[in-house]
Amino acid sequence: MRSPVHLPSAAFGRGSDLLGQVDYRLAETAEEQEEIFRLRYRAYLREGAILESPAQRNTDQYDGLPNSWTFGVYFHGELYSSVRISVLNSVWRQSCSTEIFGELLHPRLDRGEVIIDPSRFVADPDKARRFPELPYLTLRLAYMACEYFNADLGLAIVRAEHQAFYRRVFLHETIAAPRMLPGLLKPVGLMAADFPALKEKVFERYPMMRSTAFERRMLFAHDGDRRPSASIVLRPHDNASIVPQQS
């Protein structure tokens, strides 16, 4: 199911004009995925996070997993940025963060917590300079995922120089010092926020982070075509069924 969501401009406070011009699209076709993999490569290469590659694309073993959603953020029909949202629980534990910070996260998953792990957040190196609001609009997807899946914890794996943004906007705290993530040349630290306790404070400061139940369902509720292999229980907050049946 294609999921382009053209954001409504009403009731979002500051930034509503931009929200009305942005589409969030789940990358499901080979063409959509390839466009995002090439965007990742350009963005990472520009900031010195990866080595040059003849393939000029960046992907990993977490792309396409049943607990991951990779989105493109489009402005006037052009791809500007992308982020992958991994949803973790006691059954589904595969993500970038659990790969390198597993000793901190697995105990929480053992207790039945639901964790949202955004990764592969990239922006077009040229377009991003003309669009300072782009990080807010892109990471809004992670906030919508936290609300839709009734998350206990929202994560961010980011380099040290970017942590101030997450601390200021999403009230994240650093819970682990930087480590090397396979495939990248620069270390990333782990930040986290108690979503239920902090979301209203974020909404008050950044009204554009709010979303409607309809918007969240359009982005994250899918039939069994994409996730046929196992039952996945993720406590959807919006009462939308995303639990595929085993074949």
Three-state secondary structure call for residue 214: helix
Q: Establish if 241 belongs to a structural domain.
A: no
Contact between 85 and 106 under an 8 Å Cβ cutoff? The reply is no
Q: Establish if 201 belongs to a structural domain.
A: yes
Phi-psi region at 179: left, alpha or beta (left = phi > 0; alpha = psi -120 to 50)? beta
Give me the phi and psi of 125, to 5 degrees please. Answer: -60, -30
**pLDDT at site 236:** 52
Mean pLDDT by 10 residues, the chain (247 residues): 42 56 93 97 95 96 95 94 97 96 98 97 91 92 97 96 94 96 94 97 94 94 46 46 32
CATH number at residue 114: 3.40.630.30
Query: Which residue range forms the structural domain that includes residue 74?
Result: 5-211
The tally of domains found in the chain comes to: 1
Contact between 191 and 175 under an 8 Å Cβ cutoff? The reply is yes
For 38-71, letters b (16+ CB in 10 Å) and e give bbbbbbbbeeebbeeeeeebbbbebbebebbbbb
**pLDDT at site 71:** 97
Pairing relationship of beta strands 173-179 and 115-123 according to DSSP bridges: unpaired
Q: Establish if 183 belongs to a structural domain.
A: yes
Q: Establish if 231 belongs to a structural domain.
A: no
Q: Establish if 69 belongs to a structural domain.
A: yes
Q: Establish if 233 belongs to a structural domain.
A: no
Q: Establish if 79 belongs to a structural domain.
A: yes
Which residue has tokens 């630290």? 189
Q: Establish if 234 belongs to a structural domain.
A: no
CA–CA separation, 70 and 68 (whole Å): 7
**pLDDT at site 129:** 85
**pLDDT at site 85:** 98
- Which segments within the chain are labelled E, that is strand? 5-6, 22-26, 68-75, 78-88, 115-123, 153-158, 173-179, 188-194
CA–CA separation, 18 and 29 (whole Å): 26
**pLDDT at site 16:** 55
**pLDDT at site 212:** 94
